[in-house]
């Protein structure tokens, strides 16, 4: 069967299963199967797939119809214009985290950051971008050993093994409470258990709950980070947190109550939602 016909059929199947952007996703799965560029795909639209290619494509479409995330099927996610390995053991990197990193890089000068800490590193995207963009040493932690295995692959893929150290621990639990970091960045779990039923099946059923949920209102990890971070930041150091859209008031109130932060702010993301907390000692 011709590629163009297969794409039409696959798009209809995906649409019928509730997948948004069904045509685009069918095309992306075809690109993954063929290992070619979009331009070459368009030029080859009248060609036929081999039986093995057609079977692989059909199987991937069937998996996507079960709402398995596209990134889990391809094993990759583009982030910061780079390719990262992803899978069921890590949260799929999202544009909100790219926005978090933009906020960090706009505020932190390369020469002023000798040592950074990435809490809840997951796939390692934050640690990798910090190491590449700031040319700094990064300690990246996560409670999940399988997640750290994925992060290790990404760190190696982007040739950052000399700049990034990986540590399995619960937030700061295995780090001495010394003022040793110029920068702490985290995309912690911040979804409330009370929001679970509102999530898409791709998220609720296939992404790691350890990286998603943090207490009934999603604030548990944020509270722990905000409370402990001043013990680990040097004077003038910064803490950046990705937060939920409805959490800014609670986060700012807690930071004020803690009292160690000289300056605090919330920055809205590209869609106008409160997204990034910045606290400076």
Residue where one domain finishes, among candidates 17, 39, 66: 66
Same domain, 44 and 96: no
Claim to verify: residue 113 and residue 242 sit in the same structural domain: yes
One domain for residues 220 and 127:
yes
Total domains, the chain: 2
My answer on whether 9 and 122 are in the same domain is no
**pTM score:** 0.94
Whether the Cβ atoms of residue 1 and residue 57 lie closer than 8 Å to each other: no
Statement to judge: residues 13 and 107 lie in one domain: no
Judge whether 184 lies within some domain.
Answer: yes
* 240 Rama class: left (phi>0) / alpha (psi -120 to 50) / beta: beta
Same-domain status, 84 and 61: no
pLDDT of amino acid 111? 75
Q: Which pLDDT score, from 0 to 100, does residue 3 have?
A: 95
Rounded Cα distance, 108 and 55, in Å: 49
45 and 162 housed in the same domain: no
Q: Where are the beta strands (DSSP E) in 213-271?
A: 233-242, 263-268
- pLDDT, residue 109, reads 83
Bridge partners of residue 78, in order along the sequence: 83
Of the candidates 277, 242, 274, the residue with the CA atom closest to the CA atom of residue 263? 277
Domain membership flag for residue 71: no
Q: Both 29 and 157 in a single domain? A: no
Average pLDDT for consecutive 10-residue bins of the chain (281 residues)?
94 96 96 93 91 96 97 96 97 97 92 93 98 96 98 98 98 93 98 95 96 97 98 96 96 96 96 97 94
Packing angle, helices 95-107 and 125-134, rounded to 10:
30
Judge if 24 and 156 occupy the same domain. Answer: no
Q: Print the domain residue range for 227.
A: 76-280
Residue located via tokens 């990197």: 93
3-state SS class at 264:
strand
CB-based burial, 151-175: b 16+ in 10 Å, e otherwise: bbebbeebebeebbebeeeebbeeb
Instruction: Please check whether residue 196 lies inside any domain of the structure.
Output: yes
Phi, psi of 21 (to 5 degrees): 50, 45
Do 99 and 211 reside in the same domain of the chain?
A: yes
Cα–Cα distance, 163 to 235 (Å, whole number): 23
Q: What is the CATH number of the domain that holds 61?
A: 1.10.8
- What pLDDT score was predicted for residue 100? 98
Indicate if 19 and 109 belong to the same structural domain: no
């Amino acid at each position: 069967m011709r590629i163009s016909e297969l794409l039409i059929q696959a798009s209809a199947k995906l649409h019928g299963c509730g997948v948004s952007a069904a045509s685009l996703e069918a095309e992306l799965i075809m690109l993954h199967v063929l290992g070619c560029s979009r331009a070459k795909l368009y030029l080859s639209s009248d060609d036929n797939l081999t039986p093995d290619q057609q079977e692989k494509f059909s199987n991937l479409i069937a998996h996507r119809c079960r709402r398995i995330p596209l990134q889990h099927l391809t094993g990759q996610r583009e982030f910061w214009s780079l390719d990262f390995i992803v899978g069921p053991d890590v949260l799929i990197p999202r544009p909100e985290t790219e926005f978090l990193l933009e906020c960090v890089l706009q505020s932190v000068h390369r020469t002023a950051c000798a040592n950074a800490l990435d809490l809840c590193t997951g796939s390692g995207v934050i640690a990798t971008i910090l190491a590449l963009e700031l040319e700094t040493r990064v300690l990246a932690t996560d409670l999940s050993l399988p997640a750290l295995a994925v992060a290790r692959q990404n760190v190696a893929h982007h040739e950052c093994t000399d700049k990034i150290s990986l540590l399995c621990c619960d937030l700061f639990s295995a780090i001495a409470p010394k003022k040793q970091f110029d920068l702490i960045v985290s995309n912690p779990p911040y979804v409330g258990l009370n929001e679970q039923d509102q999530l898409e099946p791709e998220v609720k059923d296939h992404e790691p709950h350890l990286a998603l949920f943090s207490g009934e209102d999603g604030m548990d990890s944020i509270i722990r980070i905000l409370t402990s971070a001043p013990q680990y930041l040097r004077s003038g150091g910064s803490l950046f947190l990705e937060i939920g859209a409805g959490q800014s008031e609670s986060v700012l109130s807690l930071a004020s109550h803690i009292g160690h932060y000289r300056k605090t702010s919330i920055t809205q993301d590209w869609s106008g939602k409160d997204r990034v907390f910045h606290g400076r000692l």
